[in-house]
Amino acid sequence: MHTKLVAGNWKMNGLSGDLVEIERLKDGMDAADCEVLVCPPATLIARMHDMAIGSELLIGAQDCHAALSGAHTGDLSAAMLADAGASHVILGHSERRADHGETDALVRTKAQTALDRGLTVIVCVGETEAERDEQRTLDVIGAQLSGSLPDGCLAAHTVIAYEPVWAIGTGRTPTLEQIAEVHGFLRRTLSERFGNEGQEMRLLYGGSVKPGNAAEISALSDVDGALVGGASLKADEFLQIIRAFSDQ
């Protein structure tokens, strides 16, 4: 049994006025029997980090640059994010793969840089609807996994998120059998490559997780938490998901 991790990805949402949700989250988190992480836009990391002091709430980032520092206007390094208070960074989210042309090789370099700077990485993989229809889901995910993870990853600092692209923000989710199949495949593949560390790495499911489906997803073996987009923006809804994952 792994300690579950419920991570919220705020994406490009959140202004100063939304910090009230973090107060509400902290107030409702007492009974949480899992780790809780919020990844806001970079502009809010430092303030959320300060608000989280004295609580169990973890704060993370949504991306980092592959280089340590240098002439990369508008980008943020892993060291800057850690300096602002991030403990985790999401990498290879399908929106970055699609919007910014991020390849597995780039995600792997980013992951190495982030790990070297002491961040825990949440590396995202997932198939498009066309790839699932063509019955290529496991091939696609296997290639993403092997291409996006550096050698020597340790369970303490590496989390994998399975996010079917077609389930993100759509209200559609795979069947429980489909989620279980992919998570079982992830576990086997990670164990073959990383041995015991691969057994221990946490595997999150992401894609339209809501209060209404969180409990049944959490009950699946090899589901060690969730990556939550839209439903993480409001503390009330996010807390219901956190409770569902705490009850398992």
CB of residue 16 to ligand PEP, shortest distance in Å: 22
With CB under 6 A as the contact rule, which of the stretches 77-85, 193-201, 224-232, 234-242 interacts with ligand PEP?
224-232
In terms of Cβ atoms closer than 10 Å to its own Cβ (0-12, 13-18, 19+), residue 185 is middle
Q: Is 40 in the site for ligand PEP (CB under 6 A)?
A: no
Rg over CA atoms, the chain = 17
Does 227 interact with ligand PEP (rule: CB under 6 A)? yes
The verdict on 126 binding ligand PEP (CB under 6 A) reads no
Residue closer to ligand PEP, measured from CB, 52 or 209: 209
Stretch touching ligand PEP by CB under 6 A, among 56-64, 65-73, 98-106, 163-171: 163-171
User: Buried b / exposed e across 119-132, counting CB within 10 Å, b at 16+?
Assistant: bbbbbbbbbbeebb
- For the chain, the DSSP string reads -PPPEEEEE-TT---GGGGHHHHHHHHH-TT--SEEEEE--GGGHHHHHHHHTTSS-EEEES---SSSSSS-TT---HHHHHHHT-SEEEES-HHHHHHS---HHHHHHHHHHHHHTTPEEEEEE---HHHHHTT-HHHHHHHHHHHHSPTT--GGGEEEEE--GGGTTTS----HHHHHHHHHHHHHHHHHHHTHHHHHSEEEEESS--HHHHHHHHTSTT--EEEESGGGSSHHHHHHHHHHHH--
Is 2 part of the annotated catalytic residue set? no
> Applying CB under 6 A, does 229 fall inside the site for ligand PEP?
yes
- Which of the ranges 15-23, 147-155, 193-201, 205-213 carries the binding residues for ligand PEP, by CB under 6 A? 205-213
Annotated catalytic residue 65: no
Residue span binding ligand PEP (CB under 6 A) among the ranges 20-28, 48-56, 74-82, 226-234: 226-234
Determine contact, residues 206/163, Cβ cutoff 8 Å.
Answer: yes
Does 206 bind ligand PEP (CB under 6 A)? Our answer is yes
Instruction: Name the residue nearer to ligand PEP (CB basis): 152 or 169.
Output: 169
Interaction of residue 89 with ligand PEP, rule CB under 6 A: no
Which CB sits closer to ligand PEP, 123 or 194?
123
Q: Is residue 159 a contact residue for ligand PEP (CB under 6 A)?
A: no
Residue 209 binds ligand PEP (CB under 6 A): yes
Q: Is 241 near ligand PEP (CB under 6 A)?
A: no
Q: If binding is defined by CB under 6 A, does position 169 make contact with ligand PEP?
A: yes
Catalytic residue among 35, 127, 163, 237: 163
Given 49, 93, 131, 183, the catalytic residue: 93
Residues that bind ligand PEP (CB under 6 A): 9, 163, 168-169, 206-209, 227-231
Active-site annotation, residues = 93, 163
